[in-house]
Amino acid sequence: MKTFFRALILAAFLVAIASGVKAQDLLASQAPYDTHMEFVDSMELRNMLFNESYLYPSEDLYPEWDNNSRVHYSGKLPDSLRIDLREFVMPTKNVKVTDIFGYRSRRRRVHNGLDIKVQKGDTIYAPFSGKVRTIAYQRRGYGHYIVLRHNNGLETVYAHLSKKLVKENQVVKAGDPIALGGNSGRSTGAHLHFETLICGKPINPALIFDFKNQGVTGEYYVYRKNKHQSVDPKTGKVVDSDLQQYHKVRSGDTLSKIATKYGVSLSQIYKLNKMNARSVIRPGQQVRYR
């Protein structure tokens, strides 16, 4: 008889488990009724949030998910943002930076990214997990290009590609091949034009990626809206300094030399110092360039 009851109890447990009711509910029927439900809810919520982070990465930072071809747009920038770089994979194994970020007097325009020498057909990798926002072609500009939105809040742009290996809205993991490098669009010689954006605003990719040493500048990059940021050449770490910066004029300096030295436009220097093309500068004078 004892064995029969044991078997009966066991059968009841098995039926209960099979029907989705936890065995502990039968044993602890005095426990608050909704304990089990809360457990289910939080699991479901967690799964839902996890799935949503893939459906719509960085939802808190970006008001919408759209596949339009705009690369840069004026999103609302946070005052500061900590970007997790720990899962990084270098977008290319190539190490040679052929053009830096900032104002190029040679081209008379701002260069919104870094150029890295690649061979046509070299694989380009997603540096962080996220989702493909835009895939497009711009004959006189970027050529074949891709914009990724990452879960860490960053967006990255890859231009002059020869082949795209992903589709819009595709979820990517850090290290997934996304494209092959090339020479499409306005480009002389195969290279990767690489941009890093926060809410549509380009920031210097060198604040995050060190292509020469194939690494990142830290476990986190902290963007600060009201600071000028640069990388210390000795430590390779990001340094925040005051936004307003001055150059002390030495003999032989001209305003255009100062502009070139700091990678800013001459018109910016005129504006900041209330100067014009006829203005004369003297050694020892402080000229604001940022």
Phi/psi for 28 (5° steps) reads -115, 65
Distance between CA atoms of residues 198 and 131, nearest Å? 15
Shortest distance in whole angstroms from residue 98 CB to Zn ion: 9
First to last CA, the chain: 90
- Nearer Cβ to Zn ion (98/169): 98
Helix or strand (DSSP H, E) at 258? helix 255-262
Residues 6+ apart with CB under 8 A from 142: 71, 136, 157, 159, 160, 185, 186, 193
Q: Which residues pair with 221 in a beta bridge?
A: 83
Q: Give, as one character, the DSSP assignment of residue 206.
A: G
Shortest distance in whole angstroms from residue 116 CB to Zn ion: 9
- Nearer Cβ to Zn ion (149/193): 193
Phi/psi for 237 (5° steps) reads -95, 155
C-beta separation of 58 from 81 below 8 A: no
C-beta separation of 168 from 132 below 8 A: yes
Please identify the residue of the shown chain whose CB is closest to the bound Zn ion.
193
What tokens appear for 271 in the block?
Answer: 């504006």
- Nearer Cβ to Zn ion (6/96): 96
Residues in contact with Zn ion by CB under 5 A are: 115, 193
What tokens appear for 239 in the block?
Answer: 């340094």
- Nearer Cβ to Zn ion (100/165): 100
Shortest distance in whole angstroms from residue 187 CB to Zn ion: 8
Shortest distance in whole angstroms from residue 159 CB to Zn ion: 7
Shortest distance in whole angstroms from residue 111 CB to Zn ion: 6
- Look at residues 89, 95, 126, 100 and name the one whose alpha carbon lies nearest to residue 193: 100
Shortest distance in whole angstroms from residue 193 CB to Zn ion: 3
- Nearer Cβ to Zn ion (164/193): 193
- Nearer Cβ to Zn ion (115/122): 115
Distance between CA atoms of residues 124 and 175, nearest Å? 9
- Nearer Cβ to Zn ion (151/162): 162
